[in-house]
């Protein structure tokens, strides 16, 4: 698809995109979170809508305006994100997990604000694992032929780590962000490579998040047909 040309090649399709980063509460005023802005997921939602899709954007704590023509579902935690993704994925042609999901959450939630106690060391924070949403929806597809895409940021041995993660998750495509990897690619940090379960490898040069989003949809469309 040429840049700037919008073909309605997702018309009649329902796509689900998760975006942002989950927050795992400790008490009513504190949480464990991450720095995901949500911009890549929102770019995926916008570009899919521009290509004619019905889009459900599941947004975890992204401080961004709702994209026009997109159904936005707001969630906070990984457990809430899982519920929203499973619900929306039931009739989806494709699911793209661009959200940064907390791997762990505090084992306990304090209903009242945690207070300091004079002369006492703080209690350690005990964590438990969150569900792996991408692995779950990939292993148990809501629809035959549903295309599932994951995202990963890797530092060392990007391609090998990406291949291992793709196999472990069981998704169809994994967008691997080459964070800090210069040896293999010798280029800008924001480059990505999209690995396919079919062995394909699509390099996306440094550029705007819309360009990466359009490449992802190109690869999804090819697998839907």
Q: Which does 152 bind (CB under 5 to 8 A by kind): Ca ion, ligand CTP, none?
A: ligand CTP
β strands within the chain, DSSP E: 14-20, 24-27, 30-32, 54-60, 71-75, 94-97, 104-106, 127-129, 147-154, 173-178, 192-196, 201-204
Q: Which of residues 136-175 bind ligand CTP (CB under 6 A)?
A: 150-152
Is 201 a binder of ligand CTP (CB under 6 A)? no
Nearest residue (CB) to Ca ion, 47 versus 77: 77
CB 81 within 8 A of CB 60: yes
Cα separations in angstroms, 49 against 29, 45, 189, 217:
36, 6, 28, 11
CB 205 within 8 A of CB 190: no
Cα separations in angstroms, 103 against 18, 133, 157, 221:
16, 10, 21, 30
Is 129 a binder of Ca ion (CB under 5 A)? no
Nearest residue (CB) to ligand CTP, 9 versus 194: 194
Nearest residue (CB) to ligand CTP, 164 versus 184: 164
Residue 113 annotated as binding site: yes
Which of 57, 70, 92, 134 is close enough to bind ligand CTP by CB under 6 A?
134
Nearest residue (CB) to ligand CTP, 92 versus 134: 134
Cα separations in angstroms, 92 against 58, 96, 106, 145:
13, 10, 32, 10
Site string (55-94) toward Ca ion, x via CB under 5 A:
----------------------------------------
Which of 50, 84, 99, 220 is close enough to bind ligand CTP by CB under 6 A?
99
Q: Which does 45 bind (CB under 5 to 8 A by kind): ligand CTP, Ca ion, none?
A: none
The answer to whether 190 is a known catalytic residue is: no
Q: Concatenated DSSP letters for 41-61?
A: HHHHHHHHHHTT-EEEEEEES
Q: How far is the CB of 103 from Ca ion (least distance, A)?
A: 4
Is 103 a binder of Ca ion (CB under 5 A)? yes
CB 105 within 8 A of CB 32: yes
**Annotated binding site for CTP: which residue ranges?**
103, 113, 131-134, 151, 165, 169
- Which residues are known catalytic residues? 34
């Amino acid at each position: 698809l040429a840049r700037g040309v919008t073909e309605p090649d997702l018309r009649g399709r329902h796509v689900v995109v998760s975006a942002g980063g989950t927050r795992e509460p400790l008490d009513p005023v504190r949480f464990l979170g991450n720095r995901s802005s949500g911009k890549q997921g929102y770019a995926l939602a916008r570009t899919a809508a521009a290509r004619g899709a019905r889009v459900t954007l599941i947004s975890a704590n992204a401080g961004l305006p709702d994209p026009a023509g997109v159904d936005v579902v707001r969630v906070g935690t990984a457990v809430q994100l899982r519920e929203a993704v499973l619900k929306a994925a039931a009739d989806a042609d494709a699911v793209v997990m661009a959200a940064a999901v907390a791997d762990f959450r505090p084992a306990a939630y304090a209903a009242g604000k945690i207070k300091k106690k004079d002369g006492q060391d703080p209690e350690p924070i005990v964590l438990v694992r969150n569900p792996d949403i991408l692995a779950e929806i990939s292993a148990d597809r809501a629809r035959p032929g549903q295309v599932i895409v994951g995202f990963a940021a890797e530092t060392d041995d990007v391609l090998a780590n990406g291949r291992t993660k793709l196999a472990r998750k069981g998704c169809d495509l994994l967008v691997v962000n080459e964070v800090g990897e210069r040896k293999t690619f010798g280029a800008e940090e924001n480059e990505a490579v999209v690995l396919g379960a079919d062995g394909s490898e699509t390099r996306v040069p440094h550029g705007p998040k819309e360009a990466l989003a359009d490449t992802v949809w190109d690869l999804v469309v090819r697998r839907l047909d």
